[in-house]
Amino acid sequence: MARFFVSKEELEQDFIVLTGQQAEHAKVLRLKNGEEVYLCDGEGQQCRCTVSDVSPGQISLVVRDRQCADTEAKVRVSVYMAFPKADKLEHVIQKATELGAYEIVAFPSGRCISKPDEKSLKKKLERWQKIAASAAEQSGRGIVPKVITVDSYQAALDRAAQADLPILFYENERAVTLRMAVEEKGFETVSLMTGPEGGLEPREVEQAKLAGLRICTLGSRILRCETAPLCALSAVMYATGEF
């Protein structure tokens, strides 16, 4: 069933009109009178609607019932990724949204080649959030994950450490696996932190330990910076019963 995101205020109405890009999307889907769609507020609430009128530039909908979205993971997983080169972060945002991430946080680290300034970050954030919204619609999410940036590595550590299970992945770790970490019971929030091309510096790993993060390995093979967060997220979703 098609899904569209609207504002919280719109979702409270009994009769809703889609215009602009959403109307264009509905046109591409060839929606007709009598067909059902879901509208979501991006924060977990949704309603089932029936198309009542299709006109040039707008689609009219009648709300049938309201409910909490049932497509969200029980465990909230935050993906922390050091700024990568090119458009790799866009790929991670799209796929992490599909896989069920609660939020995606980008941060700078010592070996980051890409270090966007405040002006370019503003434009990038708008684009990144649109990518998350589009992926959320396509995958049937009840929320749109927030895409966030922090201005320092320490700020990222402090924020990630607030999760019940905060993890940093390091290619030189050998003893502690992700499986060991997720076998622990009683966590509702997880932070998964990965480095940039070239990995994290040893001093940054020690910094993470001091901040309270668990240092884990993702196996004996070296994963690309855009592969590691998606691998870790998939593993956590599997371990917590989402797959």
CATH code for the domain in which residue 31 is found: 2.40.240.20
Q: Are residues 50 and 118 in the same domain?
A: no
Residue-averaged pLDDT of the chain: 92
Q: Is the pLDDT of residue 86 over 80?
A: yes
Lowest mean pLDDT among 60-74, 154-168, 170-184: 60-74
DSSP, collapsed to helix, strand or coil, labels residue 52 as strand
Domain enclosing residue 50, as ranges: 3-68
Q: According to the model, what pLDDT value does residue 108 have? A: 96
The span from the CA of 77 to the CA of 190, in Å, is 5
Q: Are residues 89 and 121 in the same domain?
A: yes
Q: Are residues 57 and 82 in the same domain?
A: no
Q: Are residues 127 and 181 in the same domain?
A: yes
Q: According to the model, what pLDDT value does residue 119 have? A: 84
Last residue of a domain, one of 44, 68, 92: 68
Bridge partner residues of 38 (DSSP): 3, 48
Last residue of a domain, one of 68, 93, 112: 68
How many separate domains does the chain show?
2
DSSP, collapsed to helix, strand or coil, labels residue 53 as strand
- CB distance 199 to 87 below 8 Å: no
Q: Is the pLDDT of residue 120 over 90?
A: no
Q: Using CA atoms in the order 129, 130, 135, 136, what is the torsion angle rounded to 10 degrees? A: 70
Q: Are residues 126 and 228 in the same domain?
A: yes
Q: According to the model, what pLDDT value does residue 1 have? A: 77
Q: According to the model, what pLDDT value does residue 126 have? A: 94
Other CB atoms within 10 Å distance of the CB of residue 110: 14
Q: How confident is the model at residue 40 (pLDDT cuts 50, 70, 90)?
A: confident
Q: Are residues 190 and 232 in the same domain?
A: yes
Q: Which CATH number is 225's domain given?
A: 3.40.1280.10
Last residue of a domain, one of 50, 68, 86: 68
Q: Are residues 62 and 80 in the same domain?
A: no
Q: What is the pLDDT of residues 91-115, one digit of tens each?
A: 999 999 999 999 999 999 999 988 8
Q: How confident is the model at residue 26 (pLDDT cuts 50, 70, 90)?
A: confident
Q: Are residues 125 and 94 in the same domain?
A: yes
Lowest mean pLDDT among 25-29, 86-90, 192-196: 25-29
Q: According to the model, what pLDDT value does residue 100 have? A: 96
Give the residue among 146, 145, 143, 144 at the shortest CA–CA distance from 69: 143
Q: Are residues 134 and 205 in the same domain?
A: yes
Q: How confident is the model at residue 43 (pLDDT cuts 50, 70, 90)?
A: confident
What is the token pair recorded at 130? 């649109």
Q: Is the pLDDT of residue 8 over 90?
A: no
Q: Are residues 47 and 91 in the same domain?
A: no
Q: Are residues 199 and 108 in the same domain?
A: yes
Q: Using CA atoms in the order 173, 177, 180, 181, what is the torsion angle rounded to 10 degrees? A: 70
Q: Are residues 59 and 165 in the same domain?
A: no
